[in-house]
């Protein structure tokens, strides 16, 4: 049995480890050949394959293919066709032509391949937001002030700075344990994140009108039926749903105004699920703290007022990109192939 992977550098630009992972996994069942097109190539599938009649499994990664070309793959039994880096559904006529020949076509049932990467990153943002880890890291480069724990005048006072206490008491700080963490979403990313913070001892509640009951209790989260109520007692607020037409702005300005002063907000999926002008207003007014990997403007302008603030942790939208996410992109498709 012979498998063929044909990949365009445009795909590698988005998923630089996935194509080789396809080959590695398919080689467990026999010969697996990978063909990489030249940068900026406009070649189609039939321009690069010499013996299409020998191919049983075909994986096309951002390489165009015509119906006539596909017809030449007479032994084809299984296929994956990825039209773009973020476009996972092949053209309908191509799918119909293959289905008429009883060729199995596999696609991603969800975007779970980056669920673990994003949820772990969100946990890291949470810890960084609570403990000001990036801020103190940066401050130590130019000053010894972060090492100075004495309160003004050296006199200890209740609620003032003290030995090895570097948190900002104006905002939610300290440990995850015991914190009221309120999550919008209970999907691939949000349910993982909920399980992490539940394991660390947080009081977790989630709102998601589309999720089934197991999504909540398996993650250790209490199901909240009303978003209006979810925001009222949050110490850490985590909007964590994909951005769609239904979810755009689902966390409204009213919801953000209802967050208690001092709440830490975590953004790790998409910023525009929130009313960003109101969130910005409250963060810049030092009413909320923010730990974010995604923003309403990307890249953030270098003069953006969110940058460099003591109550903001910021990273450049890279939560979902790990080698493991690349591997899972391939594995979640390969595991659908028939056992050989």
- pLDDT for 71-86, tens place per residue? 999 999 999 999 988 8
Radius of gyration of the chain (CA): 24
Do 289 and 171 form a contact (C-beta atoms < 8 A)?
yes
Determine the pLDDT at residue 159. Answer: 78
- Residue 13, both tokens: 């630009």
**Same domain (yes/no): 126, 194:** yes
- pLDDT for 92-113, tens place per residue? 899 999 999 999 999 998 888 9
329 located within any domain: no
- pLDDT for 263-317, tens place per residue? 999 999 999 999 999 999 999 999 999 999 999 999 999 999 999 999 999 999 9
**Same domain (yes/no): 206, 294:** yes
Do 261 and 232 form a contact (C-beta atoms < 8 A)?
no
pLDDT band at 223 (very low <50, low <70, confident <90, very high): very high
279 located within any domain: yes
283 located within any domain: yes
The residue from 90, 107, 124 where one domain ends is 107
pLDDT band at 47 (very low <50, low <70, confident <90, very high): confident
- Residue 23, both tokens: 């080959």
Q: pLDDT above 90 covers what percent of the chain? A: 81
Above 90 in pLDDT, residue 255? yes
Which CATH number characterizes residue 70's domain?
3.40.50.720
Please give the average per-residue pLDDT across 132-136, as a whole number.
95
Sign of CA dihedral 307, 202, 169, 150: negative
pTM to 2 decimal places: 0.93
Q: Which domain holds residue 252?
A: 116-132+167-314
User: Domains in the chain: how many in total?
Assistant: 2
**Interatomic CA distance for residues 112 and 48, integer angstroms:** 32
**Same domain (yes/no): 84, 126:** no
Above 90 in pLDDT, residue 173? yes
Above 80 in pLDDT, residue 1? no
151 located within any domain: no
Above 70 in pLDDT, residue 335? yes
**Same domain (yes/no): 181, 283:** yes
323 located within any domain: no
Pairing of strands 289-292, 236-239: unpaired
**Same domain (yes/no): 217, 285:** yes
**Interatomic CA distance for residues 94 and 29, integer angstroms:** 26
**Same domain (yes/no): 285, 263:** yes
Helices in 179-272 by DSSP H: which ranges?
188-199, 213-217, 227-230, 253-258
CA 15 to chain CA centroid, Å, is 14
320 located within any domain: no
Q: pLDDT above 70 covers what percent of the chain? A: 100
Please give the average per-residue pLDDT across 4-22, as a whole number.
96
**Interatomic CA distance for residues 238 and 61, integer angstroms:** 34
């Amino acid at each position: 049995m012979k498998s063929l992977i044909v990949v365009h550098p445009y795909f590698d630009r988005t998923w630089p480890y996935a194509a080789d992972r396809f080959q590695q996994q398919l080689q467990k069942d026999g010969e697996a050949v990978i063909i990489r097109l030249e940068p900026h190539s406009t070649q189609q599938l039939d321009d690069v394959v010499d013996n299409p009649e020998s191919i049983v499994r075909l994986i096309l990664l951002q390489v165009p293919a015509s119906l006539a070309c596909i017809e030449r793959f007479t032994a084809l039994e299984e296929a994956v066709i990825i039209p773009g880096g973020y476009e996972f559904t092949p053209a309908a006529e191509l799918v119909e032509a293959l289905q008429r020949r009883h060729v199995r076509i596999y696609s991603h049932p969800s975007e779970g391949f980056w669920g673990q990467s994003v949820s772990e990153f969100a946990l890291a943002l949470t810890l960084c937001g609570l403990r000001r880890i990036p801020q103190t890291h940066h401050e130590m480069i130019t000053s010894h002030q972060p090492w100075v724990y004495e309160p003004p005048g050296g006199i200890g006072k209740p609620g003032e700075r003290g030995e090895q206490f570097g948190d900002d008491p104006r905002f939610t700080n300290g440990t995850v344990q015991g914190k009221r963490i309120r999550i919008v979403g209970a999907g691939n990313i949000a349910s993982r994140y909920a399980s992490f913070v539940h394991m660390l001892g947080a009081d977790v509640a989630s709102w998601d009108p589309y999720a089934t009951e197991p999504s909540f209790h398996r993650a250790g989260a209490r199901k909240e039926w009303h978003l209006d109520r979810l925001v009222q007692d949050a110490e850490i607020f985590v909007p964590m749903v994909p951005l769609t037409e239904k979810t755009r702005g689902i966390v409204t300005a009213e919801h953000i105004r209802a967050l208690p002063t001092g709440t830490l907000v975590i953004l790790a999926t998409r910023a525009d699920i929130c009313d960003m002008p109101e969130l910005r207003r409250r963060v810049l007014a030092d009413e909320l703290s923010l730990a974010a990997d995604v923003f309403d403007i990307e890249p953030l302008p270098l003069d953006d007022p969110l940058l460099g603030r003591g109550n903001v942790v910021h990273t450049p939208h890279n939560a979902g990109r790990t080698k493991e996410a690349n591997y899972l992109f391939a594995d979640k498709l390969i595991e659908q192939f028939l056992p050989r």
